[in-house]
Amino acid sequence: MRRTTKLMRRQSDDTETPQQDAPTPEPTAPQDAPPTAEERVALGRCLRLRDAALAQNTRVQFLVEAVRKLGCDPGPLESFVQCVSASRQSMAMVGGFAAHAPGQRDYAPKILMVAEHVPNQAIFDRTLSHELVHAYDQCRANVDWNDRRHHACSEIRAGSLSGECDLSQEINRGRFGITKHHQACVKRRSALSLALSGQADPDAAVAAVFDACYADTAPFDRHPN
Ligand SMILES: [Zn+2]
């Protein structure tokens, strides 16, 4: 990954403990070292989850198509959506979005799924959908990922449109019974994503743009929940 790219950190779906989600130390294994046997198993499983998501998940397919309809070419999907080993990345999250550099003419973001951190197809699908909303926003608007309000807006949309805040997910996290649970969940997770990316004052950034960005459901006609 070029140094000019910025990785949008993405918290794990089944834990929200910031300490667990904080960036891991720099990898100790050299980037070009062959994968270990354990890494190969995890990567193989991740690739099968990826292929199933791309072939079968209607939300994933709709979002990929929406990026193309906007005029952005994500290229071959096996290059656009990559599985990486946790030990090779300074990231403890399920997935990440590597935005292309500001001013770069070609549309060249990458979605990185962390092989060891994706427990099942449902979490893979939701995480990939989340990252695809970032990819859509990168294509649609000239997102400045260093601007915390821009970043907050895309996190709100990704949290809202990916399915990660559907009621069943909140029940799994033991947060059942929250009034307006969906909005509360989106706010909480957006602020956490901003914090993990090192943005200052994440709650204020989310609050400042929440209503407008939550109401913006493109490319869906309405919240797909
Ligand atoms: Zn995100």
Rounded to the nearest angstrom, the distance between the alpha carbon of 98 and the centre of ligand 1 is: 10
Residue 19 has pLDDT above 50, yes or no: no
Indicate whether 65 and 105 sit together in one domain.
Answer: yes
> Collapsing DSSP states into helix, strand and coil, what is residue 6?
strand
CB 192 within 8 A of CB 202: yes
**Token pair belonging to 100:** 């292309």
Whether 17 is in a domain gets the answer no
**For residue 13, pLDDT beyond 70:** no
Is 115 found in the same domain as 205?
no
Domain-located, residue 205:
yes
Question: What's the order of all strands across the beta sheet hosting 81-84?
Answer: 6-9, 95-99, 110-114, 81-84
Asked if residues 122 and 94 have their Cβ atoms less than 8 Å apart, the reply is no
Distance 131 CA to ligand 1 centre (A): 6
The structure tokens listed for 128 are: 């990939």
Is the CA virtual torsion 172, 173, 175, 179 positive or negative? Answer: negative
Q: Which tens digits make up the pLDDT trace of 105-120?
A: 888 899 999 999 999 9
pLDDT digits (tens, 9 = 90+) for 97-106: 998 776 778 8
Report yes or no: 116 and 24 within 8 Å, Cβ to Cβ: no
Say yes or no: 113 and 185 in one domain. Answer: no
What pLDDT was estimated at residue 25?
A: 36
Q: Among the three residues 120, 143, 166, which one is the final residue of a domain in this structure?
A: 143
Residue 120 maps to a domain: yes
Domain end point (choices 100, 118, 143) = 143
Max mean pLDDT range (23-27, 51-55, 198-202): 51-55
Q: What is the pLDDT of residues 67-86, one digit of tens each?
A: 999 999 999 999 999 999 99
Per-residue pLDDT band for 177 (boundaries 50, 70, 90) equals low
Q: Within a domain: residue 202?
A: yes
Segment among 5-19, 27-41, 148-162 with least mean pLDDT: 5-19
Burial degree of 5 (CB within 10 A; 0-12, 13-18, 19+): middle
In this structure, the answer to whether residues 68 and 97 fall within a common structural domain is yes
Among 91, 109, 143, which residue terminates a domain?
143
pLDDT band at residue 20 using 50, 70 and 90 as cut-offs: very low
As annotated, the active-site residues are 131
Query: Highest mean pLDDT range out of 47-61, 92-106, 142-156?
Result: 47-61
92 and 190 fall within a common domain: no
60 and 115 belong to one structural domain: yes
Range of the domain at 164: 144-224
Q: In angstroms, what is the span from residue 90 Cα to ligand 1's centroid?
A: 16
Tell me whether residue 6 is in a domain. no
Mean pLDDT of 163-179: 71
Give a yes or no: residue 10 inside a domain.
Answer: no
Query: Which is more confident, 143 or 31?
Result: 143
Q: How confident is the model at residue 166 (pLDDT cuts 50, 70, 90)?
A: confident
Q: For the chain, give percent helix, strand, coil, nearest 5.
A: 50, 10, 40
- How many structural domains compose the chain? 2
Do 103 and 182 have their domain in common?
Answer: no
What DSSP letter does each residue of 108-131 carry, written as one string? --EEEEEGGG--SHHHHHHHHHHH
Both 153 and 204 in a single domain? Answer: yes
Residues 204 and 124 in one domain: no
41 and 137 assigned to the same domain: yes
pLDDT at 66 over 90: yes
Q: Give 181's Cβ-side CA count (13 Å radius).
A: 17
Categorize the per-residue pLDDT at 178 as very low, low, confident or very high, splitting at 50, 70 and 90.
low
Q: How far is the CA of 143 from the centre of ligand 1 (A)?
A: 13
Give whole-number Cα distances, 77 to 5, 16, 51, 53, 162, in Å: 19, 29, 9, 11, 19
Same domain, 43 and 130: yes
Please identify every residue whose CB atom is under 5 Å from ligand 1, which is an ion.
8, 10, 155, 158, 193
pLDDT tens digit string along 181-218? 899 999 999 999 999 889 999 999 999 999 999 999 99
Q: Which two structure tokens, joined as six digits, stand for 20? A: 């667990």
Q: How sure is the predictor about 39, in pLDDT bands with cuts at 50, 70 and 90? A: very high
Assess if residue 14 is contained within a domain: no
CA distances from 212 to 117, 162, 178 (A): 32, 17, 22
On whether both 166 and 136 belong to a single domain, the answer is: no
Q: Is residue 52 part of a domain?
A: yes
pLDDT of amino acid 14: 39
